[in-house]
Structure 1
């Protein structure tokens, strides 16, 4: 847990070891951290210096940050001299064929029906050197003042830091990514504490599932909360997107679940309206809970009666849809006004379908609703409206698992006057909630970070930002990489790059079928990863011919991104004269896990400017094909993804800072808040009336 705490928070829990003279170990710690791009704070150095035997403690610290940037594994590309000595693709294949013939590989294995089988060649896809050979082939990295340095701070005790992390995850106001959700589950098993507020239903279900195992009373306030915890307790999908095969529950567990369900419905029978939406799941759960055994819990039995169709209850969503079907926009608006958050989320649909005389009725309803709506929902609508005066270049949708779906924007644009009026209403409400400040300082490097309006737009990792966020990369050389380690089956991932001009037209690609093009070059194709495999692509800015570079990771065969033991994507920047081995942890700018559902990952797009590279996070996955995915088959959709995301306007830190500046006064307070933190953002913009 200590390693997890350090990697997740960049705070080091205090050691409980005996005091003494650990100054020498403290100096070694600082030197070791610098090698991987970190530095210990003054307080951390002083804490280590005051320990008698801190060696094991400092090793854990170094191991944690090395894992964070991906330096806990050996990154060994196919060509040991990479980025030098990369041959032309055809020349390399000829070499492999010549080597195979010398080794007397049968001709029918080398080719079938006139098609060359690269995987049958002994020299193809398998490194011909050791990691030590790689190290010997490279000079030491020449340090640069532009190299990344991240500070590690001293925290509280391990127990305090564990509780702090548990509460941070449990009370998150955006959906957690899968890795953080599993971490919350692990922490929930270690505590009986129930946070005062749990905004996300998935988090509530994870904590309730842990309570169910301990036999503790459940805390739910909707019938769907019960369904979610049953899914989690059965090892299923807590988001309810994928169907769950429910396990058998023991009698004490059934009693707890049915009692919770009965209490929810008894307090508000109208909540039965949510059952019909997932009636099949409820019927399957009923087979495991045996509701007929609980005659003393009639309200819980009503849930399953609705699921079976023996009892009819009209849901809130159902009444709304009936109004839309009758083209009665005023009635739909009145129904939605009973749930202000739903009204805000349905504003575009209401405006698109409203007659000219009903548009102002919708706008007035929105004006009345905004004081009761969360700040993130208001920011989401504000961001949406800023993209509705003209059609999108491409509509990009993403599921909770970051699976992308792209379509043309066939919606009629919203009227300019309506967009301006609604924008003014939303901005005025947000400004009303903001504190008066006398001073606000926002660093230039965070102004283009997209506010964390949804946790579905990012992944676990280091320096990972929400979709649409931009990061400037100083240094002439851009290098990005993929690492994977297979679990049970031979697995072949292929790193590729689509090269685009300023109009997003395709001008080339770099991959295992084309090692060099447009100034970019590839490190070589590895076709299995029992002990881990890494592939790189280098793009020197001054030599690059493309305006945009879109990396993608294709699954050619084997295990998917959610099945492999490990998988990550990352990028580095350095000067051309820094030398060093292909993977230098101090040059890593970001490292993202790859755990999405799809056979092609498109994590980021890079834009070449006059003096730097600018990375824009995508965090998207394409369906692809079951096997043999190649860049040639995905380049057009990758181009559309890049164009759609880059042409969209996002609600950024800089945009929010502009709203805060409207409340700047001489007598205001100095504002110290991390505008990129979802929880701090919610506190800043919470409804106040």
Structure 2
């Protein structure tokens, strides 16, 4: 996507900076701009439309061109979505009928007849050898001509774009929000922070930057300005060095350190020296990243700077030439000796580590006396632990109520998922309940108590964004574990990909599961039709980009779960392809329209995981008969080639079950803690907003809110997480 400042702002806030330009008669151009936006599911707020109407036509057109490009990219309308079957979803043949038709066409072709006859004689047929298989047989324009116009519906999505302040003010506010985030950012947001920091690091700064990756990005910009660096651990310096080398500031992937100019080397060594001089115990942090520190030492040449001896000690520890007993090692020794009480005393100096080992400590405790000591320490130290950790532990305790042996989901930082039986001993209910009550009390103390709280009910089942990595870049993407209503008759999901250099075949499939997570049926290139659904046809290469669709009539589907998945059959991975994204649309039964209609798109999610099977979300029919989506953002390892829904149905159902049955901590939980006796809580279903300032929490910004209102939407939901 475009990376202009205005584009970054629009993607993060759905606001346009106050348009600049000469005054004029721009009303007609503004209305045309609004109409163009509505064709892709967006519209101008009344305030923004009025502002544009007072500008010259040229100023309006300049804003329109830039904005339309960005919103079309958001919903996936910047590419051409063709389908293999020209009149999809109508007239999709059965799989065997289609393959037979392809064979007949090949036998009529002089160039392919002999090859196909030879294959048939041996009883094995390569579908890719058939000229009519896997390649578009018509142009995009021919496909459009074969489709009916979309009939407008009240259920079509409309996303309102709002008027912002001046560009500099808006970018500063966004920079402060991202830099000061209490939760880790996604890779895309971290890249946006880098661009914003280059522009804003000399101006106002957040009160604190609690997330280390954010601090590294900001430090890189501050280094360029000659400003003081924000360093309080040796790892802060390592992350900064990774940023300067274009590496991974999360330290999850190896970074190749560049040769650094002498002034930069001096700044890094001076920073290391100051950190260790202030607290020599921080040398123990080197053990967690010994190899990167050794490689960094080869670039910084600490031996050339004897005035910073403490910096040299960092690299001596990394090389094993100097001892620095690690804190984690001391804790492990105590636990190995079954000294839970001693471990709790030691962990008292590291409250965050204590909370991350609470479950293990409670399971390891020999008796109730030791468990009481663990609970008492946690209650005492809770005020010193970050809100994100408190909420993570609170969610963990809630899910520990489930029976032992149920599937347990594991997800790494890159979205790779796997499931295994939960064989841990249970945590006693009384201890679990005491801890949960104490955590809720501490969170309630930190949360604001708004006088008037205006709520969009659709936001209450959104999972708290405890990490930006639990979402994917895209449009209207909810955090992993969130639940949202599905309010259409027809569900259509799609994948688009464009290969970089090698032939790449992605296969969109849908696994349909019974209520016990056993397989009912599936839709894929090997099963083009099923009860209530059709597949748009297999496309096996994408030098110019390719799309596949699956259409489902929710009234006809008999299964309990619909699990869309994208399988890499061959070629480039999700992170290697030039572009790849998934999305879904909802339509009323009689809307018709092209296979891809941007105003019916409910979400798009870029595919970025390291696995070969992508699971964006799962649709579930509830006991009330209504369908809801639960967001997954998961990737399975899969195999190197020929991943198919038939082969991975068991592993997919295990992972889906593990996450579908897990209960995330939601916005609704925090709203309950925020509400006091003095708080007026109102549900907002549209219509005029209150005249006075409110705290508004919703998926999208309500129109007409008082300018002094605090507004929390999907784009800045992280601001709900207390520090």
Does the 8 A contact of 1:231 with 1:244 survive in 2?
yes
1:574 corresponds in structure 2 to 587
1:141 corresponds in structure 2 to 150
1:683 Cα deviation after fit: 6.4
TM-score (normalizing by structure 2): 0.91
Matched, 1:652 2:666: yes
1:334 Cα deviation after fit: 1.1
- Supply the distance in 1 between the matched residues of 2:327 and 2:528 (Cα, whole angstroms): 57
* 47-56 or 385-394, which deviates more: 385-394
2:25 corresponds in structure 1 to 21
- Supply the distance in 2 between the matched residues of 1:216 and 1:653 (Cα, whole angstroms): 38
Match of 2:392 among 380, 389, 403: 380
Matched, 1:3 2:14: no
SS at match of 1:127: coil
Does the 8 A contact of 2:712 with 2:720 survive in 1?
no
1:95 Cα deviation after fit: 1.3
Matched, 1:162 2:171: yes
1:184 corresponds in structure 2 to 193
1:684 Cα deviation after fit: 6.9
- Supply the distance in 1 between the matched residues of 2:568 and 2:31 (Cα, whole angstroms): 44
What aligned pairs does 1:438-517 form with structure 2 within 5 A after superposition?
439-517=452-530
Instruction: Call closer, same or farther: CA 1:304–1:94 in 2, change over 3 Å.
Output: same
1:51 corresponds in structure 2 to 55
Match of 2:216 among 189, 199, 205: 205
SS at match of 1:322: helix
* 492-501 or 610-619, which deviates more: 610-619
- Supply the distance in 1 between the matched residues of 2:211 and 2:619 (Cα, whole angstroms): 33
Matched, 1:418 2:431: yes
1:10 Cα deviation after fit: 0.5
SS at match of 1:483: strand
Match of 2:649 among 627, 635, 647: 635
1:620 corresponds in structure 2 to 634
- Supply the distance in 2 between the matched residues of 1:678 and 1:139 (Cα, whole angstroms): 35
- Supply the distance in 2 between the matched residues of 1:487 and 1:49 (Cα, whole angstroms): 43
SS at match of 2:63: helix
1:349 corresponds in structure 2 to 360
1:21 Cα deviation after fit: 0.5
Matched, 1:584 2:593: no
What aligned pairs does 1:262-341 form with structure 2 within 5 A after superposition?
262-341=273-352
Instruction: Call closer, same or farther: CA 1:517–1:677 in 2, change over 3 Å.
Output: closer
Does the 8 A contact of 1:476 with 1:612 survive in 2?
no
1:77 Cα deviation after fit: 1.3
1:465 Cα deviation after fit: 0.7
Does the 8 A contact of 1:229 with 1:238 survive in 2?
yes
1:172 corresponds in structure 2 to 181
1:25 Cα deviation after fit: 0.5
SS at match of 1:219: coil
Match of 1:60 among 47, 55, 66: 66
SS at match of 2:47: helix
- Supply the distance in 1 between the matched residues of 2:543 and 2:569 (Cα, whole angstroms): 16
Matched, 1:222 2:228: no
- Supply the distance in 2 between the matched residues of 1:173 and 1:678 (Cα, whole angstroms): 14
2:78 corresponds in structure 1 to 72
- Supply the distance in 2 between the matched residues of 1:367 and 1:664 (Cα, whole angstroms): 27
Instruction: Call closer, same or farther: CA 1:671–1:637 in 2, change over 3 Å.
Output: same
Does the 8 A contact of 1:499 with 1:506 survive in 2?
yes
1:581 Cα deviation after fit: 0.6
Does the 8 A contact of 1:363 with 1:422 survive in 2?
yes
1:106 Cα deviation after fit: 5.5
SS at match of 1:490: coil
Instruction: Call closer, same or farther: CA 1:190–1:430 in 2, change over 3 Å.
Output: closer
SS at match of 2:455: coil
Does the 8 A contact of 2:620 with 2:629 survive in 1?
yes
Instruction: Call closer, same or farther: CA 1:682–1:4 in 2, change over 3 Å.
Output: closer
Does the 8 A contact of 1:397 with 1:405 survive in 2?
yes
SS at match of 1:577: coil
1:545 corresponds in structure 2 to 558
SS at match of 1:472: strand
2:686 corresponds in structure 1 to none
Gaps in structure 2 of 5+ consecutive residues: 683-692, 698-710
Cα deviations by residue, 1:315-359 (Å, 9 ceiling, x for unpaired): 222221111111111111111111222212211111011111301
Does the 8 A contact of 1:474 with 1:573 survive in 2?
yes
Match of 1:389 among 401, 410, 435: 401
1:403 corresponds in structure 2 to 416
1:259 corresponds in structure 2 to 270
1:233 Cα deviation after fit: 2.1
Cα deviations by residue, 1:168-206 (Å, 9 ceiling, x for unpaired): 222222211112222222222334335432121111112
- Supply the distance in 2 between the matched residues of 1:406 and 1:374 (Cα, whole angstroms): 28
1:682 Cα deviation after fit: 5.5
- Supply the distance in 1 between the matched residues of 2:679 and 2:129 (Cα, whole angstroms): 73
- Supply the distance in 2 between the matched residues of 1:213 and 1:434 (Cα, whole angstroms): 36
1:679 Cα deviation after fit: 6.5
SS at match of 2:291: helix
Instruction: Call closer, same or farther: CA 1:676–1:384 in 2, change over 3 Å.
Output: farther
- Supply the distance in 2 between the matched residues of 1:596 and 1:518 (Cα, whole angstroms): 31
1:219 Cα deviation after fit: 2.7
1:88 Cα deviation after fit: 0.7
Match of 2:43 among 39, 42, 53: 39
Does the 8 A contact of 2:388 with 2:721 survive in 1?
no
* 172-181 or 192-201, which deviates more: 192-201
1:444 Cα deviation after fit: 2.2
SS at match of 2:199: coil
2:613 corresponds in structure 1 to 600
SS at match of 1:115: coil
* 49-58 or 295-304, which deviates more: 49-58
Cα deviations by residue, 1:38-92 (Å, 9 ceiling, x for unpaired): 1201111012111112212212222221111111111111111111111111111
Instruction: Call closer, same or farther: CA 1:666–1:275 in 2, change over 3 Å.
Output: closer
Matched, 1:111 2:119: yes
Does the 8 A contact of 2:16 with 2:161 survive in 1?
yes
The size of the alignment, in residue pairs, is 686
1:484 Cα deviation after fit: 0.9
What aligned pairs does 1:112-127 form with structure 2 within 5 A after superposition?
114-127=123-136
- Supply the distance in 2 between the matched residues of 1:542 and 1:3 (Cα, whole angstroms): 39
Instruction: Call closer, same or farther: CA 1:247–1:437 in 2, change over 3 Å.
Output: closer
SS at match of 2:590: helix
1:595 Cα deviation after fit: 0.9
- Supply the distance in 2 between the matched residues of 1:653 and 1:268 (Cα, whole angstroms): 39
